[in-house]
Structure 1
Amino acid sequence: MISRVESDGRPVVAILTMHDTQTMFRGNRQNFQEIIKTGKDMGFLVYVVTVRDLKLDTDAVKGYMLLSDHSWEQRLCPLPQVIYNRIPYREDEALPWVRRKIKECQSHPHIDLYNPHFFNKWRLFAWLNKSRLTKQWTPLTKRLKGYPTLCEMMKRKPYLYLKPEDGKAGQGIMRIRYQKNKSLPYRIQIQNNKNSTTYKAASLERLWNRVYQETKGSSYLIQQGIELAQVHGRSFDLRILVQKNDSGFWAVTGIGARMAGAKSITTHVPRGGTIEDPEKLLPVVFGPERSDAILSEVRKAAVHMARQIEKCSGQIHGEMSMDLGIDNEGVLWFFEANSRPMKFDEPAIRKKSLERIFQYSDYLIKQK
């Protein structure tokens, strides 16, 4: 017999994930523990629920409660007022029965679900390009439809990136450069775990053979390469966390920097990148005054882009992280947004991000 938990007047938030036959449920346990602890400290009842156990036609659902010894126990929990979607994988979210459940949550009169779906990279650029304001921050990006797309882009830009449409953490990224004074002028660098491998070719057709081998069967984007600002010969970009606050408005929670690994073509930490402080890196390149102006622009741009992405998606979102680059001239560029942000390692950003989850949940509950 499963024991029942009462809300005792507390607002109720459930973290949504997938069931797992061996470990009860999927997802980052430490992240869930920190979310639950913050919620508890702020007066919320918080539990983990799987898509399978979330039955919306009852007044109680089987959820997992965190115990004081950090173990988990299944209890009968009150139906949530807010569902915080942390389904970890795109493949899970794409399952028809999971999609049906998410739609049921969205149409439920007493439940708010935020972060309903992962973003598709191509759609993000299409959405941002619809607004004159946000279009200024997007690099030239096309879907890779074959050799003709590569030719067309190479004519316009001698430096390109290839990115999987649904990739994450820098997986599958490639970089192409044309250097006309070299005997093998076409170079492609392919990201491995923490290294990259370079192939050289005499012609674009030869280069395409390698690109085709690497991309066949997958949807890829081809994008104008940006010469990112560097410190000590290593490129860096910015990671911005944007969340809705207790008034339901988008606001920047924090800005971090990620510096590329010595042999990596991306700044992602799993690919050898390191965590840095933007307020220390930017002045090295641009000086203190210009750096302040750049960070101010980054904050404003991130909020504008979050609004535009949410508007075009037609769904309600509560948070997103963004990868933005600053080129050698100090110009800002958008690379990616993620609707399920990974936890930020910077302690101040992490603390504020956890609190904002519940400040926005409180706003949603009060709106009902």
Structure 2
Amino acid sequence: MSSTNNVGIILPDKIYKNMSNMTPDVRCMLNLFEKAAKHNNIRLCYLTLNRIRPDKRTVEAFIMVGNEFVFKEVVRPKVIYSRIIDYSPICQAHIKSLLESGITVFNRPNYDVEKYTIHQLLEINNLLKKHLPYTLPLTLQSLKLMMNKYNSLILKPNYGEKGMGAMKLDRSGKYWSLSYKLSGELDVRHEYFINSFPSILLSRIKERKYIIQETIPLATYMGSPFDMRVSVQKNIEGNFTVTGIMCKVAKQNDFLTNGAQGSSTYLIKKILPETNIITSPSKLRKNIFSISLGIAHYLDHQFPHLADLGFDIGVTKDGVPYFIECNFISDYLGGIIANGKLLAEEWSSVFTTPIDYAKYLLDKMD
């Protein structure tokens, strides 16, 4: 295979450092990458950002030889797929130097991924705005304002993932209930109050930035709320397409749908007959595709080189979609792969489509 067909994949340090002793789930993911690479007649080179130098024509990387990943020096790839989130000045300066040397880096981590920043960008668009929950930066003043306006609120860190630190407020008569979890616990705790805010709430918003949102009345499956991780990626033709929809169902008596918080993942077609959604499956699919592709195209004009996005989308029982948050890498290993196997074959495209897009970029260089 010609060295001009090399495509780089920048891996997170945790995965890269364990390439010789990777978990079965990571092995499954890399096998899917390799399957797409073989189909497109390209060779994948797994590396870290700091190993790529604009003034050097070779790079040390892991490549698949037979069924094993071997560390060796190869010709530096012209196209690189970034699977890291890092918008530090050092990272940005390094990527800029690579771009100036003629290397194409897509899905590059050059954006501020704070939740409120993305919300503000989408709020400018009148078509997208109606699919956003009302949201404010969390202060004691905005907290009181929102409690006067809504009966249920979600409080979550402005920057964070996996649902860690999220809280929920619900009004019941003159009382409010605060639902939350302690670090490392999966069980929900509750505190009730009238006027004085619980100390856990005050300490958390003092330690880090939070946002506060109206609670979306999520559709339910077997009585538990669920939302969807919608994978939107650029394909072999360079166009955004929806490559996967994963329903994340909260465990019983929980308000969080994150996999790390104990939720379960299902195909939408498997659970739809037992949800409380009253709209037709075809209309629901159309609504989800429309809002997801609309957001992807809009963000694509804000940030250069986006190609691999995962949106958390909630729907009401009437099938109305709401944007919850954006993930700048679409896959969801904990929900898609278990014990080294895909939970559903149709989710394989979440991993293969970015490799197809890399082929598209390579062909454009010829």
Q: Same fold (TM over 0.5)?
A: yes
1:157 aligned to 2:150?
yes
SS in structure 2 opposite 1:353? helix
Q: Which amino acid in 2 is paired with 1:162?
A: L
Q: Look up the match of 1:133.
A: 127
Deviations 1:314-348 (A, max 9, x none): 32111111111112333211101101123434433
Question: Could you tell me whether the CA contact under 8 Å between 1:33 and 1:66 is conserved in 2?
Answer: no
Q: Look up the match of 1:86.
A: 83
Question: Could you tell me whether the CA contact under 8 Å between 2:170 and 2:176 is conserved in 1?
Answer: yes
Q: Look up the match of 1:197.
A: 189
Q: Look up the match of 2:213.
A: 223
Relative to structure 1, is the Cα distance of residues 288 and 229 closer, same or farther in structure 2, using a 3 angstrom cutoff?
closer
Q: Look up the match of 1:292.
A: 282
Question: Could you tell me whether the CA contact under 8 Å between 1:237 and 1:326 is conserved in 2?
Answer: yes
SS in structure 2 opposite 1:240? strand
Residue 306 of structure 1, CA deviation: 0.7
Deviations 1:250-303 (A, max 9, x none): 111121211101142211122111112212333434578623211111111110
1:73 aligned to 2:70?
yes
Question: Could you tell me whether the CA contact under 8 Å between 2:10 and 2:47 is conserved in 1?
Answer: yes
Question: Could you tell me whether the CA contact under 8 Å between 2:16 and 2:48 is conserved in 1?
Answer: no
Q: Which amino acid in 2 is paired with 1:244?
A: K
Residue 95 of structure 1, CA deviation: 4.0
Aligned counterparts of 2:101 and 2:327: Cα–Cα separation in 1: 25
Q: Look up the match of 1:354.
A: 351
Residue 248 of structure 1, CA deviation: 1.1
Q: Which amino acid in 2 is paired with 1:173?
A: A
Deviations 1:184-226 (A, max 9, x none): x0111013432211111121xx126431112222111111101
Query: Of 226, 235, 254, which aligns to 1:264?
Result: 254
1:234 aligned to 2:227?
no
SS in structure 1 opposite 2:51? coil
Q: Using CA pairs below 8 Å that are at least 6 residues apart, which structure has the higher relative contact order?
A: 2
Kindly report structure 1 stretches of 4+ aligned residues shifted beyond 6 Å: 24-28
1:324 aligned to 2:313?
yes
Aligned counterparts of 1:22 and 1:231: Cα–Cα separation in 2: 38
| Percent identity for Structure 1 against Structure 2 | 21
SS in structure 2 opposite 1:207? coil
Aligned counterparts of 2:15 and 2:218: Cα–Cα separation in 1: 45
SS in structure 1 opposite 2:121? helix
**Larger mean Cα displacement after TM superposition, 24-33 or 319-328:** 24-33
- Segments of 5+ residues of structure 1 without an aligned counterpart are 1-6
Question: Could you tell me whether the CA contact under 8 Å between 2:92 and 2:110 is conserved in 1?
Answer: no
Q: Look up the match of 1:34.
A: 32
1:108 aligned to 2:101?
yes
Aligned counterparts of 2:351 and 2:15: Cα–Cα separation in 1: 28
- Segments of 5+ residues of structure 2 without an aligned counterpart are 338-342
Q: Which amino acid in 1 is paired with 2:145?
A: E
Residue 59 of structure 1, CA deviation: 1.4
How many residues align structurally?
350
Query: Of 161, 169, 174, which aligns to 1:168?
Result: 161
